[in-house]
């Protein structure tokens, strides 16, 4: 087993990859928008672009997601969040998902998303 950390900081890494020999598990930390002044749909699109970028670093895509946890500042954003999510997630590849109303660390953030993906090793 091998563990690789990407964009490691003093408190967390943006992504941790666990190489299990025949498969890799990709654990992404909670992703938030770079521009917290955006509305929920704008923040969702930014967050999903971050997730796409991190997954691509390991040759993965949103089709490889196995789970997602979405934290919303207000449950009133649930329908708008789902409309962006539904456009992004590929049909037939939806991960297990939980959505939670939560007080986020910065009051400007409307959404934070944490995902896990699984892929085969590169031959």
Per-residue pLDDT tens for 67-122? 999 999 999 999 999 999 999 999 999 999 999 999 999 999 999 999 999 998 65
107: which residues sit within 8 A by CB, 6+ positions away? 73
Average pLDDT, the chain: 95
Decide: helix, strand or coil at residue 25.
strand
Element at 19 (helix H, strand E): strand 13-19
∠ Cα 95 96 102 (to 5°): 110
What's this model's pTM, rounded to 2 decimal places? 0.92
């Amino acid at each position: 087993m091998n563990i690789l950390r990407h964009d490691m900081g003093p408190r967390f890494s943006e992504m941790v990859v666990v190489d299990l020999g025949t498969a890799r598990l990709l654990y992404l930390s909670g992703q938030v928008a770079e521009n917290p002044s955006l509305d929920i749909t704008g923040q969702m699109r930014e967050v999903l672009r971050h997730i796409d970028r991190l997954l691509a670093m390991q040759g993965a895509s949103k089709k490889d997601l196995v789970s997602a946890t979405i934290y919303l500042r207000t449950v009133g954003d649930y329908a708008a969040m789902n409309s962006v999510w539904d456009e992004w997630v590929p049909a037939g590849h939806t991960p297990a998902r939980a959505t939670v109303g939560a007080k986020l660390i910065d009051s400007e953030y409307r959404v934070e998303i944490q995902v896990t993906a699984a892929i085969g090793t590169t031959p």
